[in-house]
Amino acid sequence: MMNTFQFDTASLLLALPEIFLLSAIVVVLLLDLFLTKRFKQVTYYLTQASLLITGVLSYNLIGHPETVIFSNSFVLDDMASVFKVFMMGFSMVAMVYSRHYLTQHSLFRGEYFILVLLSILGMMVMVSGYSLLTLYLGLEILSLSLYTLIAIARKRSGAIEAALKYFVLGAIASGLLLYGMSMIYGISGSLNISDISAFASDANLGARETLIINFGLVFLVIGIAFKLGAVPFHMWVPDVYQGSPTSVTMFISTVPKIAAVAMLVRILVDGLGAMHAYWADLFMVLAVLSIALGSVVALMQTNIKRMLAYSTISHVGFIMLGFVTGVVSGYGAAVFYVFVYILISLAAFGIIILLNKEGFEADQISDFKGLSKHSPWFALMMLAVMLSMAGVPPFIGFYSKFFILQQVISAGFITLAVVAVVFAVISAYYYLQIIKSMYFEDADKDITISAPMDIQLVLSINAILILVVGIFPDFWMKLALSLF
Amino acid sequence: MLENYLPIMVFIFLGIAFGVGPMLIGYLLGPNKPDKEKNSQFECGFPPFDDSRMYFNVRYYLVAILFILFDLEVAFVFPWAVVQSDLGWFGFISMSIFLFLLVVGFIFEWKNGALEWE
Amino acid sequence: MTFDQILFYVFSFWFIASSLAMIFSRNAAKAVLFLILSFFSAASIWILLEAEFLAITLILVYVGAVMVLFLFVIKMLNIDKSTLRAKFTGYLPLGLLVAAIIIVEMTLVLGGNQFGLDIVTAPARHAADYSNITVLAMQLYTVYVYPFELAAVLLLIAIIASITLVQRNELNRKKQSISEQVNVQAKDRVRLVSITTPSKEDK
């Protein structure tokens, strides 16, 4: 048999961020093995450097015309590059916050950073995935790293339970996703997104083909909803958020959301956009349930991590609403929402980590009592974060909700918008509760902030960004729109 | 296409015949006169203290998992070996990268003492 | 009925029978053995479908490695059979209902009226010298090189994860020091002691 395959070596340049990150992982992994305890911090700095360089390499690829390489399994377009740049930025911030937490809870190990880097590599593969196969492999690389990151805190009560729950439910979700993919592959005859798109948008598509695509579509939507944590596939979210070490919770709840949305866009928008009428119905139910349950159940929580988990569920509902609209501006609003949500979420978890002390986790809402007297600056920041999550203008959280609702209304779903607004108002209650305990209650225990300067500085910038981006949201919204 | 498997089928039947045959012959032809004493435990020993199925040490688990991983690796190498000469340098390099990543994992394993017994 | 079909029904029968036996057997170790039998039957069906490499991989990886791990786990855990059974019967009606719905749905969507021979033509058999593994390999290491390397990353993560999660303290580890073993001299190990045997005259 003769080999007629031609490999274009120049295409490697387009995957440079991934190739660099993988090489960096190998170097960090090997170096970390030979470092003595005294120099373990080197791993942390190398991780940050690798993320920075990967981000710069991805930034340089912005503006490159859409190219599909590696035999139709890798796509480089603006969405991929911009998503990668944001992922690197958010991950770097998350790592700054994590270091403090890890040292205090004696979890500082080289493997932690290597697994984070590997999960980011998986996310990059997902963001650039242009075939069902690579999308799935990226998802598995991401998930396997995350399961391990949770379980790394073996001695922590609940961590193993959280890891196991996440693993079992994640495996079921992957299985459902694979099953859906196999249906789509079976009927369209291709794993490639553009081939699937061409097949699904064929005007002469028979009833048989439509039926089988829809059958697969249901599984795909369920798999994606599992990964996003939308109701009724949300059961793992609160337990995993509460049981994981706070730094891992912060990471799980932020950066992988970009990858999940990217996978959603690649499969459902790019691939099965012609089937929008079918999956939008499913999304509508998922979105309404998520917003409703997330808002109501969060009211009863006393653990702030658990509360933020339910708040994430309701945010996911809003993100899905953007995809219900079926227009480019709606997708743009959803992507904008994701970035805003991550920015706010990072700040919220950053403040929780800031209040941590050795052997003590500030994960109860009551731990925030009287924060304004001890540290007015960080109380002010938490105020901005909470108001932003609740969607109060002029904070950024208002605009992200506003853009989504605007698109939902202009797409003609008035009832949907009303329901979303009602539950958003209900959810404001529990965000305000934290503000109340910070400003109007006295501390029942001693609050001292012992965190190093770097985390305080980054946290301040993060919180200021919430306000600044809130004053000029148009630029970012335009950026989000330009991705589609 | 199925005729390719004829030698395998012959092999399977021969294997079964060789394994089962002698046992069957022994069972049929040998004298068999059990009595109470012959069937009792070990004739002059103790009755067993507990179950003969003992629990395995947890450490086998790590060994077994690492075995699976490298077993999978080998599963990827088999087809490569079949067409290696047709693939040329490209196939060689792609397999080298694959194996390199696993060697990195192997170094990690070694350095962490996963191959040692306590 | 051709010989292929007879073989197909024989393997399918064993596949279904051993799967059922696996679910209903009370002894976990026996369940694993039934699972191995069902893997073998599935591999045989794949061979009938000319997917030889997949069949061999199934036996090599699943029967050879994964099932061994299963047996280890069963030997490690003390599985209480009575609690297992209580849960089983408790969820049985709900499980049967869900299973029935799924079976009906799948027959409607994936059954003969969608994928029957009158709609989809049966794929032609390959010649006797057709090598599935060659065709597969020519694709895997060229066209699918990117997913192939990603598989290596996945295996790397699995190695890191499994070691990270069971890592023990370094204190009680019996470590082999190869340099010490190599550098050892004969005089470190053997001590020559001169012993004078008392002669008969001394007595």
Indicate whether B116 belongs to any domain. Answer: no
DSSP 3-state assignment of A69?
strand
> Which of the two residues, C80 and A341, has the higher pLDDT score?
A341
Contacting residues for C176 by C-beta, under 8 A, at least 6 apart: B116
ipTM rounded to 2 decimals: 0.92
Q: What mean pLDDT comes out for the span A456-480? A: 87
User: Which residues in A lie closer than 8 A to residue B104 (C-beta atoms)?
Assistant: 26, 29-30
Q: What mean pLDDT comes out for the span C13-30? A: 90
Residue B98, domain extent:
2-111
> Which chains pack against C, by 3+ Cβ pairs within 8 A?
A, B
Whether the pLDDT of residue A452 is over 60: the answer is yes
Distance CA B81, CA B62 (A): 29
User: Which residues in B lie closer than 8 A to residue C47 (C-beta atoms)?
Assistant: 5
Distance CA B90, CA C145 (A): 10
Q: How far is CA A93 from CA A340, A358, A458, in A?
A: 14, 21, 7
The structure tokens listed for A323 are 């995809």
Q: What is the pLDDT of residues C124-178, one digit of tens each?
A: 888 877 888 898 999 899 899 999 999 999 999 999 999 988 866 554 556 677 8
- State the pLDDT at residue C82: 52
- State the pLDDT at residue C203: 55
Tell me, yes or no, if A198 comes closer than 8 A to chain C by beta carbon: no
Distance from CA of B48 to the nearest CA of C (A): 19
Find the residue in C nearest to A73 (Cα): C146
Q: What is the pLDDT of residues B11-50, one digit of tens each?
A: 999 999 999 999 999 999 988 888 887 777 665 667 767 7
Inter-chain CB proximity A34 and B90 less than 8 Å = no
Q: Provide CATH code, domain C1-79.
A: 1.20.120.1200
- State the pLDDT at residue B53: 64
Q: What is the pLDDT of residues A396-408, one digit of tens each?
A: 889 999 999 999 9
Q: pTM score, two decimals? A: 0.90
Residues 46-105 (C) with a CB less than 8 A from some CB of B: 47-48, 50, 53, 56-57, 60-61, 64-66, 68-69, 72-73, 75-76, 78
Chain A interface disruption, residue of C148, C157, C166, most A CBs within 10 A: C157
Nearest-CB residue to A148 (from C119, C153, C161) = C161
User: Which residues in B lie closer than 8 A to residue A26 (C-beta atoms)?
Assistant: 101, 104
| Percent residues over pLDDT 70 in chain A | 99
Amino acid (1-letter code) at residue A46: L
Q: What is the pLDDT of residues C78-88, one digit of tens each?
A: 665 555 666 66
- When pLDDT is cut at 50, 70 and 90, the band that residue B104 belongs to is very high
User: Which residues in C lie closer than 8 A to residue A147 (C-beta atoms)?
Assistant: 161
Q: State which H helix or E strand residue A68 sits in.
A: strand A67-69
Inter-chain CB proximity B104 and A34 less than 8 Å = no
Tell me, yes or no, if A27 comes closer than 8 A to chain B by beta carbon: no
Q: What mean pLDDT comes out for the span C32-48? A: 93
Distance CA B43, CA B60 (A): 35
- State the pLDDT at residue A48: 95
Distance CA B57, CA C166 (A): 13
Closest alpha carbon to A96 in A353, A361, A368, A342: A353
- State the pLDDT at residue C126: 82
Whether the pLDDT of residue A44 is over 50: the answer is yes
Distance CA C145, CA A262 (A): 23
Whether the pLDDT of residue A349 is over 70: the answer is yes
Backbone conformation region of residue A129, classed left if phi is above 0, alpha if psi is from -120 to 50, else beta: beta
User: Which residues in B lie closer than 8 A to residue C162 (C-beta atoms)?
Assistant: 62, 65-66, 69
DSSP 3-state assignment of A67?
strand
Distance CA A410, CA C72 (A): 60
Backbone conformation region of residue C27, classed left if phi is above 0, alpha if psi is from -120 to 50, else beta: beta
User: What is the CB neighbour count within 10 angstroms for residue C123?
Assistant: 8
- Computed over every residue of chain A, the mean pLDDT equals 90
Distance CA A452, CA C145 (A): 45
Nearest-CB residue to A3 (from B88, B111, B112) = B88
Nearest-CB residue to A33 (from B88, B90, B111) = B111
> Which of the two residues, A164 and A356, has the higher pLDDT score?
A164
Inter-chain CB proximity A29 and B90 less than 8 Å = no
Task: Give me the torsion for CA of C40, C45, C47, C48, rounded to 10°.
Answer: 150
**In degrees rounded to 5, what are phi and psi of residue A302?**
-110, -20
Strand partners of residue A76: A67
DSSP per-residue string spanning C112-164? HHHHSTTTSPPPPPPPTT--HHHHHHHHHTTTTHHHHHHHHHHHHHHHHHHHH
Across the A:B interface, residue pairs with CB atoms under 8 Å apart total 21
User: Which residues in A lie closer than 8 A to residue B107 (C-beta atoms)?
Assistant: 30, 33
Query: Residue ranges per domain, chain A?
Result: 14-482
> Are the C-beta atoms of residues A183 and A212 closer than 8 Å to each other?
yes
Strand ranges inside A71-180, DSSP E? 74-76
Backbone conformation region of residue C192, classed left if phi is above 0, alpha if psi is from -120 to 50, else beta: beta
Amino acid (1-letter code) at residue A135: L
Nearest-CB residue to C60 (from B71, B91, B94) = B71
Contacting residues for B34 by C-beta, under 8 A, at least 6 apart: none
- State the pLDDT at residue A206: 84
User: What is the CB neighbour count within 10 angstroms for residue A413?
Assistant: 19
Inter-chain CB proximity C165 and A138 less than 8 Å = no
User: Which residues in C lie closer than 8 A to residue B117 (C-beta atoms)?
Assistant: 174
**In degrees rounded to 5, what are phi and psi of residue A357?**
-125, 170
Domain count across chain B: 1
Helix ranges (H only) for chain C are 3-24, 28-48, 52-57, 67-76, 81-110, 112-115, 132-140, 145-166, 178-183, 186-189
Chain C interface disruption, residue of A1, A37, A139, most C CBs within 10 A: A1
Nearest-CB residue to B94 (from C4, C141, C153) = C141
Tell me, yes or no, if C110 comes closer than 8 A to chain A by beta carbon: yes
- State the pLDDT at residue C171: 47
Tell me, yes or no, if A195 comes closer than 8 A to chain C by beta carbon: no
Q: State which H helix or E strand residue A78 sits in.
A: helix A78-104
Please return the burial class of A255, using the count of CB atoms within 10 Å of its CB with bins 0-12, 13-18 and 19+: buried
Distance CA A271, CA A281 (A): 17
Indicate whether B117 belongs to any domain. Answer: no
Inter-chain CB proximity C146 and A154 less than 8 Å = no
Distance from CA of B53 to the nearest CA of A (A): 28
Q: State the pairing for strand pair A74-76/A67-69.
A: antiparallel
Inter-chain CB proximity C109 and A145 less than 8 Å = no
Contacting residues for A93 by C-beta, under 8 A, at least 6 apart: A346, A350, A458, A462
Inter-chain CB proximity C146 and A71 less than 8 Å = yes
Closest alpha carbon to A167 in A265, A245, A239, A115: A239
Q: State which H helix or E strand residue B52 sits in.
A: none
Whether the pLDDT of residue A362 is over 90: the answer is no
DSSP 3-state assignment of A412?
coil
- State the pLDDT at residue A80: 94
User: Which residues in A lie closer than 8 A to residue B83 (C-beta atoms)?
Assistant: 1
Distance CA A184, CA A190 (A): 8
